[in-house]
Each structure stands twice: as structure tokens, then as C-alpha cells.
Amino acid sequence: MSAPATQPVSAWLGEFLLLAALWGASFLFMRLGASEFGPLPTAGLRVLLATVFLWPLLLYQGQWPQLRRHWKPVLLSGVVNSAIPFALYSWAVLHITTGLASILNATVPLFGALVAWVWLGDRINRLRWLGLGIGFVGVALLAWRAPGGAGIQSDAAPWAIAACLGATTCYAVAASFARRYLAGVPPLAAATGSQLGAALGLFVPMLWFWPATMPGLRAWAAIVAIAILCTGIAYILYFRLIAHAGPSRALAVTFLAPVFALVYGAVFLHEDITPWMIGCGLVIVCGTMLSTGLIGAARAPAQAAKRT
């Protein structure tokens, strides 16, 4: 059966840009929230509030039976895809700039291709192997001269970079896990159930590390924003984009989100944007596009058009 035809660019471009802007803002909100709540309460509140937001939508769409039928793998995917990486990023943005963290997040498809090769046996041709090599070189160069966050010590920067890469590896593992065990589960059911699983996994650590001093209004606003805007609504936009524009174009949001994150960090946190960061980011993006086959996929229609 042929894949459904994608809609014209004008039909989904607005949602594409909005999703990139929301995911780019998540790093800013994580910094604002974690600076007062701490990493684990920030991650725990994010998934808990996202679950509260998504649950009525799940019931309204009548997808509760599907979630109940597949609840074990769905909840487990939430621990790997949300609980662990959200906690790691919430800690990392306290020690490196949000712009750097967002650039490292663009390696998700890079690790995704590698994990799918190891776990699912996905074929990687020479062009994609070249892309993997280029992408990892970009990460190494970026880590070599990593800036710390504004107003904090940069001694922990290497560990923060490792935390970001650990988070992106979790995203990659979760993607292959979903392909193997969540095939046929409706997206809204998978999204809601995964956030519930993450909330259950983080509930005790969130309470254990709850700050002794009640955070201020700005930190609470950041937590609500990252939960509702950058998690709940962003999930809905992402699945709509897959349906309207196709998976490859939806994946490209990962490459645009760091642009917004860099701007947010510079404007609101007064973070520096160095030519080194931009250059390494471009190397990572080019390597990722090669390793995921996006460049080859873009060339194929053009070659076919020349033959007609």
C-alpha cells in the first residue's frame, strides 16, 4: 500500500515553525525552572503536568482502550524517552549554555540511526557511515571548546555534555523501542501513556529532592510553559506534522530548534553565540542529514525528475 500523499508546504509550514520555536524554548524554560526547583523536580513536574494536560484529550478521542491494551511497553517507553533525558537535560543546562545543549540535541537522529543499525538491523550504506563519522567529529569539536553557562562555573561542562549525549542516546533507544513494541499504538495514546510512565518514574525522586524554599513565580511559570507548550502541545503538533508533511520533514524540526534556542538564550539569558558553536552545529547537522538518509532522499526525486 502506498504512503499517503503529503500536503503542500504552505499547509504545514506554520506548524513546522511553531514546533521548532516551542522545542527551542524548552531549553530556556528548563534553565529557568531548574535554577530554583532543581533538575529532578523540574523534570518530574514537566511530565506530571503534561500528563494532566494530555489525559482529557486521550479520553475525548476514545483512545483509552488502546493505551490500556499496551500499557506496559508504553509506560516503559516514557521512562526511557522522557523521564531520564528530561532529568539529564535539566541538570545539564545549569552547567552549559542552553544554546549548546540544543545543538547537542540535534544529534538525536544521529544516534537514532546507529541504535537502529545495532538493534533493528537497519541498513547503513557508505554515505550514511560517512554522515555518522562527520556528526561525531562535530560533537567532539564542540565538546573540545564547550562554553559554560552564564554566571556559573564551567568545570562541569564536560559532564554536562555527557549528560546531553546520554539523553540523546535515550531518545534514540526509545525510538527503536517504539518501532519494535509500539507499532499500531495511536500517537496520542503513546504520548499520553509515555508521559504517565515518566511521571510515575520521577514522582518519588521529585518529592525527595523538592527544594526547601518555595520557588518563585518565574520558575513556576517556566515549569507550566515547558509542560503545556513544549511537551503537551508540541506532541500534538509533532504527530500532526508527521501526518501532513511526512516523517522525514517532521524530523527536520530537530535541526531548526537550535536556531530558536540560541536566540532565546542570547536575548533572555545573555548567553554568547560563538562562531565555533555555529560551525560545529552545522557539521553535526550535515552529518546527521547524511546518516539518516535525508540528503539522499532529497536527491532521489530530483534525479528522477531529470530522467522524465
Residue 186's identity, in one-letter code, is: P
Q: What confidence score (pLDDT) does residue 175 get?
A: 85
The grid coordinates of residue 90 equal: 535539566
| 3-state class (DSSP) for residue 1 | coil
CB 165 within 8 A of CB 104: yes
CB 24 within 8 A of CB 67: no
Report residue 307's pLDDT band, with 50, 70 and 90 as the boundaries: very low
CB 198 within 8 A of CB 78: yes
Read off the pLDDT of residues 184-226 as tens digits, 9 standing for 90 and up: 888 889 899 999 999 999 999 999 999 999 999 999 999 999 9
Residue, of 10 and 161, whose pLDDT is higher: 161
Report residue 247's pLDDT band, with 50, 70 and 90 as the boundaries: low
**pLDDT surpassing 60 at residue 271:** yes
| 3-state class (DSSP) for residue 121 | coil
Residue, of 274 and 246, whose pLDDT is higher: 274
Closest by CA to 164, choosing from 202, 107, 221, is: 107
Q: Region 223-234: what's the mean pLDDT?
A: 94
Read off the pLDDT of residues 127-170 as tens digits, 9 standing for 90 and up: 888 888 888 888 888 877 765 554 455 678 889 999 999 999 99
Q: What confidence score (pLDDT) does residue 61 get?
A: 92
Q: How many CB atoms lie within 10 A of CB 210?
A: 15
**pLDDT surpassing 80 at residue 233:** yes
Residue 212's identity, in one-letter code, is: A
- Percentage of the chain beyond pLDDT 90 is 44
Closest by CA to 102, choosing from 289, 292, 266, 294, is: 266
**pLDDT surpassing 80 at residue 300:** no
What residue ranges do the domains of the chain occupy?
A: 9-307
Q: Cα separation of 114 and 44, whole Å?
A: 29
DSSP string, 59-117: HHTT-HHHHHHTHHHHHHHHIIIIIHHHHHHHHHTTTB-HHHHHHHHTTHHHHHHHHHH
Q: Region 68-82: what's the mean pLDDT?
A: 94
Instruction: List, in sequence order, the alpha helices (H) in the chain.
Output: 9-37, 39-60, 64-69, 71-78, 84-92, 98-105, 108-120, 126-144, 157-181, 187-208, 217-227, 234-245, 247-251, 253-268, 275-291, 294-307
Report residue 47's pLDDT band, with 50, 70 and 90 as the boundaries: very high
Handedness of CA 41, 159, 289, 113 (dihedral sign): negative
